[in-house]
Chain A
Amino acid sequence: MPMPRNRYWRSLGRFWATSLAAELEYQANMAIELLAVVGNLAGSLFVLALLYGRSSRLGGWSWDEALVVLGVYTLLDGLTSAVLQPNLSKIVSHVQNGTLDFVLLKPIDSQFWISTRSFSPWGLPGLVAGAGLILWAANQAGASWQASHVALTALLLASSAVILYSLWFLLAALSIWFVKVWNATEVLRYVLVAGRYPVSAYPVGLRTLFTLVLPVAFLTTVPAEAILGRVSASWALASLGVAAAALGLSRWFWQYALRYYTSASS
C-alpha cells in the first residue's frame, strides 16, 4: 500500500520547525558553536601548516588543494552537528527510556523518523564555514566552474553525505544491543578526523584501510578531487556504489536490529 509521499515531506517540515523552535530556547548555544567552529578550523589550519613545514606538498597535494579537503571535512562536520548528532545520539535514550516504542507505533518509516526528527541550527556555522573554505580554496587552486563539473561535485558531495549518514546510523543502531553506545559514535568522530587530510598523505596500509574498510577516502578526498576537476570516472562510480551499498546496509541493519528489539525487549 503506497504511502502518500507528501506525508513524509509534511512531517519533515514539522520535525524541523519544532526542533528549531525548541533549540531557540537555548540561544547561548550559538556563541558556543561559533567558537567551536572557529577553534576547530584554526586548529586544523595550524596542524596542516605544521605538517607542510617548509615543503610544498603533502601526499602530492598542494596547500590550496589540501584546504579544499579540509573544507569538505568542515562541511561534513557541520552536517554532523546539524542532523546526524542530534538525531542518532537519541537512539540510545529512546532505547533506555523505552520511548522507541512510540516511534515504532507511528505509521511512518521508523528509520526516517529516527534519522530526521531533529535539526540543530547550531550546525549551520560549520556548514557555512566549510562551504566558504571550499569556494575560496578551490578558486585559489584554479578550479573551473563549468555546469557539468559543478553537477558532478554536487553528486559526489551528496554521496559522501549518504556514506557518512549510513556509518553514523549503523553505529548508532548498535545501541539496540549496547545501551552505552554513544561511545561508538565517538569512535566514528575520532576516526573521521582522518578525513581532514587527503588520503594519499597516509602510508599505503592506512590508505587501503580508509578506502576499503572505513570509506574515509570517499568522504572528503573524492569530492575534493571532483571540486578540483580531476576525479576519475572509476573513483566517481565507486563513490556512488559505496553510497548505495552503505544506505542499503543501513536499512537492512535497522530491520535486523528491530527484529532483535521486538523479540528481546521486555
Chain B
Amino acid sequence: MPIVSVDELSRTYRVADRQPGLRGSVQHLLRRRHRDVVAVQGVSFAVEPGEIVGFLGPNGAGKTTTLKMLTGLIHPSSGSVQVAGWVPARRQPRFLEQITLVMGNKQQLIWDLPPLDSFRVNAAVYGIDDSEAKRRIHELADMLELGDELTRPVRKLSLGQRMKAELLAALLHRPAVLFLDEPTLGLDVNAQARVRDFLADYNRRYGATVLLTSHYMGDITALCPRVLLIHQGRLFYDGSLEELTTSLAPQREVRLELRHLANAEEFQGYGELESLQGHQVRLLIPREQLTQQVGELLSRFDVLDLEVSDPPVEELIGRLFRQGSVA
C-alpha cells in the first residue's frame, strides 16, 4: 500500500498580465488581462512507506507546487492526492499530525527565545505530554548533535544550528511523512552533510517516508535512491538516479598514462578511442564492460596511471532539461 499516491495531478494559476511602467499600470487598471499558467500537469506517482524520494527540476518547474499540494497547502486544479490515507486539501488534524513540512527559506522557531520554548509550544499544539516530549527532544537532539544551542535565543544561532533546531521542531510529533523543501538552502558544506546524515539516520530509525526537493545534487545523490524529474510542470522521469545516469551517459571515460608509446590499432576492441597523444590515452568504454576491459588494459600495457571518470550528474541533468526529454 503506497503511503503517498498521486494521480493525474494538475494545477493552473491565473496571473494578471501587465505591461511595465505607468502606461501598463493604467491599462491594467482599465482592462485586466489574465492568462492561465500551468504549474503542474498530469503528474502521477506513488511512494511506498520508508522511501526517500527526491524532486529534481529547474526553478519554476513545479516542485514546490507539487510539494504544497501533497501537504494540502494548495488545492489541485484536477487529479487526486492521498497521503497516509487522507486527502491533504482537507487538512484534518489527524492528517496534519502525520506529516511535517520543513522549508529551508522559512522558519517557525520563535526568534527571541531559545528553541526549547518553541518545542514546548509544538508539544502542546500536537498534544504530546511533557515527559514524552522531553524524551523525544533528548533523542532528536542527540541525533542532531544539538546541545546547549537549545537554551540560546534562536537569533544567536548560526544558520546551520538554526536549521537543525527547525528540524527538531518539525519532527517532535514523529510524523510518518516528511516533506522537505530545500532543507539545506544556504548551509555550508559541513552543515549540509550533517543534515543529510541526520535525515538518512531518521529514515532508518523510524521508517519515515521522506520527500525532498533540493538544488544541491549532493543532497539527492547522498539521500535519494529514487528521483522524480519535473520539468515545466510535467513528470518525465521516475526511477533510480543510477539508472538515469547510466541511460544518460552509457559510457565512462578512462584515461591512461603509459610507460611506452603505443599505436592506435592496439586499442581496437577497447571501447572508443577518443585521443592518443604521446603517452596519454583517452578511451570511452561502455559501463557494463568497464571492469573487464580495464583489467585487460592493465595486464596488456605497462600503465603508470589510470583514471576513470563520470560526467558530473549536474551536467547530465542540465543537458536533459535542455533537451526536454529522456533520450
Partner of B126, one of A13, A102, A107: A107
What chain B residues lie within 8 Å of A108 (beta carbons)? 93, 125
Residues in A167-220 with C-beta less than 8 Å from chain B: none
Contact A266 B39 (CB under 8 A): yes
* Most chain A CB atoms below 10 A, which of B68, B96, B127: B127
- For residue B13, CB closer than 8 A to chain A, the reply is yes
- Interface residues in B, total, Cβ within 8 A: 38
- For residue A241, CB closer than 8 A to chain B, the reply is no
Q: B33-74, CB under 8 A of A: which get 1 and which 0?
A: 000000100000000000000000000000011001001111
What chain A residues lie within 8 Å of B75 (beta carbons)? 259, 262-263
Contact A105 B99 (CB under 8 A): yes
User: What is the bound-complex CA distance between A1 and B93, given in angstroms?
Assistant: 9
Q: How many A-B residue pairs have CB under 8 A?
A: 89
Contact B113 A18 (CB under 8 A): yes
- For residue A139, CB closer than 8 A to chain B, the reply is no
Partner of A14, one of B71, B72, B120: B120
Partner of A4, one of B14, B121, B127: B127
Majority secondary structure of chain B interface residues (helix, strand, loop or mixed): mixed
A102 CB to closest chain B CB (Å) equals 4
Interface size class of A (residues with CB under 8 A): 20 to 34
B289 CB to closest chain A CB (Å) equals 48
Residues in A212-266 with C-beta less than 8 Å from chain B: 259, 262-266
Majority secondary structure of chain A interface residues (helix, strand, loop or mixed): helix
Partner of A107, one of B13, B96, B123: B96
- For residue B317, CB closer than 8 A to chain A, the reply is no
Contact B124 A105 (CB under 8 A): no
What chain B residues lie within 8 Å of A14 (beta carbons)? 120-121, 123-125
User: What is the bound-complex CA distance between A127 and B143, given in angstroms?
Assistant: 47
User: What is the bound-complex CA distance between A106 and B68, given in angstroms?
Assistant: 14
Given contacts A101-B101, A262-B75, 12 further A-B contacts (CB under 8 A): A10-B124, A11-B121, A11-B124, A98-B103, A99-B108, A102-B101, A106-B96, A106-B126, A108-B93, A108-B125, A262-B89, A265-B68
Of the A-B pairs whose beta carbons lie under 8 Å apart in the complex, a sample of 16, sorted by A's number, is: A1-B94, A7-B127, A18-B110, A18-B121, A101-B68, A101-B103, A105-B72, A106-B126, A107-B94, A107-B97, A107-B126, A259-B75, A262-B75, A262-B89, A265-B73, A266-B74
CB within 8 Å of B: which residues of A?
A: 1, 3-4, 7, 10-11, 13-15, 18, 21-22, 25, 97-99, 101-102, 104-108, 113, 259, 262-266
